[in-house]
Chains A and B, each alone.
Chain A
Amino acid sequence: MSEITELTHCGPSLCVKFFEHYVFAAYGPLLKIYEYKTGKVVNTCRVLKKNKVHGISIGKSGNILAYGARSVSVFPMSEALKKESVQKYENITTEWITSSEFDYTEKNIYMLTCYNKILVYNLESKSIAIKAVPGERSILYSGSIKVFSDDKAYAVAGTVMNGVIIWDLITEKMFHNLTGHEGAIFNVILSDDGKLIASCSDDRSIKLWDFTTGQELTTGWGHTARIWYLKFFDNDRKLISVSEDCTCRVWSVSRSSTGKIELVQENIIEAHQIKNVWGVDVQESENIAVTSGNDGRIRVIDLAPVSRYGNELQSFSLNELSIKHGIKMEKGEMFKGFQPFKFGLIAATSLGKILMFDQISNSWSLLMTDSRLTSYSIFHGIKEENIAVIANNKSELLVLKLSEDGKTIIKESKLHYDNLSKTINCLVTKFDEKSLFILLESPNPNDQLQGLQLSNNTLEIINEYTFTKPKNFTTSSVAIIENLLIIGSRFSTVGIYSLTKEQKECYLIKGINEGDNITSTTFISKLPNALIFSVTSRDGYYNFIKIHISKTFEIAKHEIIYSNKVARGFLEGSFIDENDDFIIYGFKSSLFYLYNETKCYELASQLCGGAHRQWNFEEFNDYFMLVFIQSSTLHIRRINKLKFPHTLSDGLHGREIRDITIRSSKSYKNGYLFCTGSEDTGIRLSYFDITTNEINTYWFERQHVSGLQTCSFISNNLMISTSAREELFLWKLNTDTEDRPYMNLLQHLPTSMDTPDLRIMDFSVKFIEETVDFVLATIYSDSTIKIWYYNSDENKFKLIIGGRYETCCLTNANFVTLNQKLYCVVTPTDGYIVVYNITEAIQFELSESNTLVNNEKDLTQTALPMYETRIRVHQSGIKSMDTQVLDNTLKVYTTGDDNAIGLTIFKLDTSTKKLEGITNSFIERANASTITSCSLFNNNSKLLTTSVDQIVKIYDISNDQLDLINERYTTIADTGSCDTIDLSDGSSRLLIGGVGFSLWKWTQ
């Protein structure tokens, strides 16, 4: 008997709840329990058989109540924390459960159904009473129950059409039918003191109502899409809301002097990706919230990002410094530059005053004055060494080394650099453990770049350098990595110099992206003969560059192994954090942002007026410091690092996964790499571990502009993805380094029009023997079939065959070789399997072993021949296809929109010398809905299918028949994609995608 085991699931989470030091999160029918302080998963427990958990309530008696769809269950927390399943407690009722709560004794359960009835039942699953108010029984989307005492409990129900019905569920008396919203009500709740009602709706607003009078008190606007869930906290003084717009918002319920109640939006947190935050809860003692979303992420949110410690944001004007701190300032004197240090900050004014800010005592003091720095200065420093470097435009420098507490100048060095008469830029970086490096640039383009190496202790010059400056090179960033000086320039250009070599020639990497300033360079990792560093570009691009270096630090070549663009404004810098996540920062409109690019969420943001100002940003042990000038005032923002993990679960895609591909030809670490392409237009490169079953995502590729159609690895290191607008991208995977895999866009396929609106529905690849060149078939939504040749040396696609099937959309394509012929098997939406024999049309030869051989012919474009054969198998569109060639026969497995699955076998007809097919096995009602994907596995002896009815099936096909051997329900809605891999132990892994993602194990 074969068996399927669920290993890992990631998908929409509809509700979350804090309890003591735990977070309970619903994942489909499962409950996942975390310790929020560490992020540790305590247990994953099955609560319901099929239905998704929509809500949970935790009683004082140690029982948990969970409900979803028509299911409800009460089970002991002790079991939930330990057991694999508590499904035996599941009950089913006749109507959708909108909300459920324990009664006051916790011996009975109240259930509000979508027809505005309360079912009361006891812990033995006996129905006790049905409560209702007279009136129409039209459907509800939302509602809640609030229990105050034994004889006081209310139901609040939101209707589809504007109304909120409030009734006493014990006396069955209706209090109010509140109208005022437009459209369906998605949540309605009572405050803990029972005085306020809060409701939210389709109309994107939150309304507060007076419970006693039913009067509408106020409306809160702010969300830009529908609002799903509300919760009062802080003694009903605050309200938190989550929405379709991906945000979580905090509102204060404030009473004005006239007694008027108002909802004031206090904080907006972009918590999830693309769409829909479903659940939220608040842990008041920690001042944190937890949210759950459609992307499967469980996010922990700091509710007091600027008020937890009281030192988060401080502002100082120079005027204030004169009055409060006794430092006399002149009229018109301004801040000119600053550098954060552990003790606080060093700043320079336009009159050369050097000021110190002590962040423990919050006091300022004047350290010294250097009149040379009047009017113009550039400020840098090495924060680890307490060294500040200030330069003017006359090649004069002031270098200061400060004591630990910043209060005394230990060393001071005034330098004049004679080689340059003027400087327009001065950049500073760490040279090695003992010294720092200063780079000076002259405004004269013919002047060379000058470098100074200074001792950290004595501030004395250890070495001087001169570097040839390339044409059109203007310095914008500097870093020293392993004896290499890497200088970022304007026009997206980087210059690299070897510091150990006599000749300071530049290795130039020009125009990496479109052409803005390089804002930072960061060391990433080291290989025996190569280095990887990342560069950020002001316009939002970031790149990982690998440079191959010899022992003598000769740069042989470079390769851009990763390139991506952030979706938000200006990009100023990046670093890798302690979890190996790639963190970026910069400006978007009037905000400064700090963003986790690996996991795709914002860590912090600060209103500052935008990018065009003086600013500085540094990381320290448990906080970041952002300093900026706005309206001549200096602002210091301390971004304290959250004590807890920011996410308990990272989540995957915000929308449906359209295709999955495993890099099955080669393992990675202790598992496999795989890509998921989603309707959210992104591709994620992830990894699953075959022992721990953990999933780890490395990158989110944003290059596609429309929802993904397909993605598939075609070799060890090449992957192809397609989407609408005729997008077909060829990606190169790089797994040379230990740190992380990289995947870079190598080439895209030429489109037929400037503004293409065709969809590339599928493709197939056949490699040319002993090369990395390949032939590619692409099929389109207008019935076009194209065959291309990809030349890897030139990195070019060339169209070699083109034609059209009919007018209907094509859905799948596969190359197969059989009897020294090359066929392209295509399925359209008309239900046929269509087989093209392109052996003659293609200008490559087929060897005896059925491989393609390049015979160096000149490639010209030819027409697609008429198909050799076709056979109607399905009534309507064929959704997926897999093929297999065995014993001179071609087997084609197809699944259709007609709920059917077919096995069609093609053989060579000896008289006509053509392939002829017959449908050997056909199951008409294989599923209740579209069968969306299929994949052969277990040495091509089994076929996996997925369907929108959420039943995954496995067929044994070894006898040329479709024999059903396993079927299993998946909680993934819109089930639309799968991939499989056979492992060496004889088991297989099945990856299933849709609205969510599951990893299953199949064993014989």
Chain B
Amino acid sequence: MGKSSKDKRDVYYRKAKELGYRARSAFKLLQLNEQFHFLDDPNLKRVVDLCAAPGSWSQVLSKTMFKGIKESEVTEDDERKIVAVDLQPMSPIDHVTRLQADITHPRTLNKILELFNNSKADFVCSDGAPDVTGLHDLDEYVQQQLIMSALQLTTCILKEGGIFVAKIFRGRDINLLYTQLGYLFEQVICAKPRSSRGTSLEAFIVCIGYIPPKGWQPKLDENISVQEFFQGLKTDSKNQPRVIERYYEEERNIAEFMSCGGLQSFDSDATYHYDVVAALSDVSLDPVQSPTSPAYKKDS
């Protein structure tokens, strides 16, 4: 199926075409970076892009990390490496090592570790989304399990202090996920780039400062489900949930919300006219100034 005409009218879709990105999703990562600058760290070496196909995030990673350097110009001892994993095949991207694999599969971890010569990664991102059934609770659960799979892999591969970014859908149980993530990272923020449609529940968790709990040895095992993997994570081990228990209310925390991408960037909910698009097309998507903070923040 080709893109509908509605998609063609979408500014981000057009902008992505213009700039050679494989998907409009590229702007989501760019706008997240505008806010958090995680890709601007000169020490950024090993990064993993999970659920990467068709590859626009990998393109962004490649461009920001290797700024114009050709693949042939990279020296032997350069430790910088991007690994992109997806179930689907992906066409080549400069500086990106592609891996066609299932991120929920334990063997995938070993393959990535091999590629990094057993060194830890600085940054892991995941833009994965399973097919939806229309049963909201099941879809949300499966999405969270995919994030947990990505996180499971991340805990085995991310260096302490590293960053994890993943796509979420802000549904009923999202705060359960925030709570889980809170055990592993110093800071968990729910970020929404302007290029992500306001009408969609999509957002991104930005987890900064990986701190594996003391004494917790993440280990992947074929016979262990994601759920079991994270058991024992809670600091208070007496409060471990039993396999079956009388219903109780689980701990839920709301993460801080942050809108990303300056106000001068395009609004993904708006309908742009051709004239406007033309007039705006010189305007860089990068903000010329840092976003003004909302009035309520100024006052306090």
Which A residues fall within an 8 A CB radius of B? 12, 14, 48-52, 54, 68-69, 71-72, 87, 90-96, 114-115, 117, 119, 121, 125-127, 130, 132, 134-139, 141, 160, 184, 186, 202, 226, 244, 275-276, 278, 294, 757-759, 780-783, 807-809, 829-831, 871-877, 879, 897-900, 902, 918-919, 922, 924-925, 927-930, 948-950, 973-974, 995
Contact = CB atoms under 8 A, between A and B. Distances in A.
Contacts of B259: 831, 875-876, 897-898
Q: For chain B, which range describes its interface: under 10, 10 to 19, 20 to 34, or 35 or more residues?
A: 35 or more
Contact of A69 (B134, B137, B246, B273): B137
B273 A782 contact: yes
A780 B226 contact: no
A136 B244 contact: no
Given A900-B257, A925-B256, A51 B137 contact: yes
Interface stretch (B36-44, B91-99, B138-146): B138-146
The dominant DSSP class at the B interface is: loop
A919 B294 CA distance: 11
B244 A127 contact: yes
A96 B225 CA distance: 12
A947 B135 CA distance: 18
29 contacts: A49-B247, A50-B172, A54-B138, A69-B137, A93-B243, A94-B241, A115-B227, A141-B138, A275-B134, A276-B134, A757-B9, A759-B271, A781-B271, A782-B276, A807-B266, A807-B272, A829-B198, A829-B269, A872-B295, A877-B269, A898-B257, A925-B256, A925-B257, A927-B254, A928-B175, A929-B174, A948-B172, A949-B174, A995-B136
B69 interface: no
A931 B177 CA distance: 19
B138 A873 contact: no
Nearest to A129: B243
B171 A948 contact: yes
A829 B254 contact: no
B204 to A, nearest CB: 13
Contacts of A14: 135
Nearest to A95: B227
Contacts of B263: 808, 830-831
A877 B257 CA distance: 13
Nearest to B102: A138
A136 B296 contact: no
Nearest to B176: A928
Contacts, number: 201
A973 B198 contact: no
Contact of A202 (B131, B198, B254): B131
A809 B252 contact: no
B74 interface: no
Interface of B: 5-6, 9, 102, 104-106, 130-131, 133-138, 141-142, 145, 170-172, 174-175, 178, 190, 192, 194, 198, 201, 222-228, 231, 241-248, 252, 254-259, 263, 266-267, 269-273, 276, 280, 292, 294-296, 299
Given A782-B270, A807-B267, A950 B276 contact: no
A132 B224 CA distance: 11
A51 B138 CA distance: 11
Nearest to B245: A92
A137 B245 contact: no
Contacts of B270: 781-783, 807-809, 829
A294 B134 contact: yes
B136 A930 contact: no
A138 B192 contact: no
Given A69-B141, A949-B170, A949-B174, A136 B105 contact: yes
Given A94-B243, A899-B257, 17 more contacts: A69-B141, A90-B246, A93-B245, A125-B246, A134-B222, A136-B105, A186-B133, A202-B131, A276-B134, A780-B271, A807-B272, A872-B292, A877-B269, A897-B192, A925-B254, A928-B170, A949-B170
B245 to A, nearest CB: 6
Given A139-B104, A897-B198, A873 B269 contact: no
Nearest to A51: B137
A830 B104 CA distance: 38
A873 B295 contact: yes
Contacts of B174: 928-929, 949
A87 to B, nearest CB: 7
A782 B9 contact: no
A107 to B, nearest CB: 15
Contacts of B299: 918-919
B170 A92 contact: no
A973 B244 CA distance: 26
A114 B146 CA distance: 13
Q: Which one of B102, B247, B255, B258 has the greatest number of beta carbons of chain A within 10 Å?
A: B247
Contact of A121 (B133, B226, B244, B272): B244
Nearest to A758: B271
Nearest to B145: A139
